Amino acid sequence: MKNKFALLAVSAQKINRQHLQMILVIVSLAMLVLGTGAPTDGGGVGQ
């Protein structure tokens, strides 16, 4: 039982870490494309 809990904890930690890493990569890529790209639509005009 104790082993099962430990295994579950390790798995949860792994999933969280993988998800967190993926979110971090996607957020970074979003910043990269927003920072380097320069398309313009009607929304920001005149601000």
Q: Which residues bind other proteins (CB under 8 A)?
A: 21-22, 24-26, 28-42, 44-47
Least separation in angstroms between CB 11 and other proteins: 13
Question: Distance between CA 4 and CA 6 in Å, rounded?
Answer: 5
Question: Distance between CA 9 and CA 16 in Å, rounded?
Answer: 10
Least separation in angstroms between CB 33 and other proteins: 4
Nearer CB in complex with other proteins: 3/40: 40
In one-letter notation, the amino acid at residue 22 is M
Least separation in angstroms between CB 37 and other proteins: 5
Listing DSSP states for 15-28 in one string gives: HHHHHHHHHHHHHH
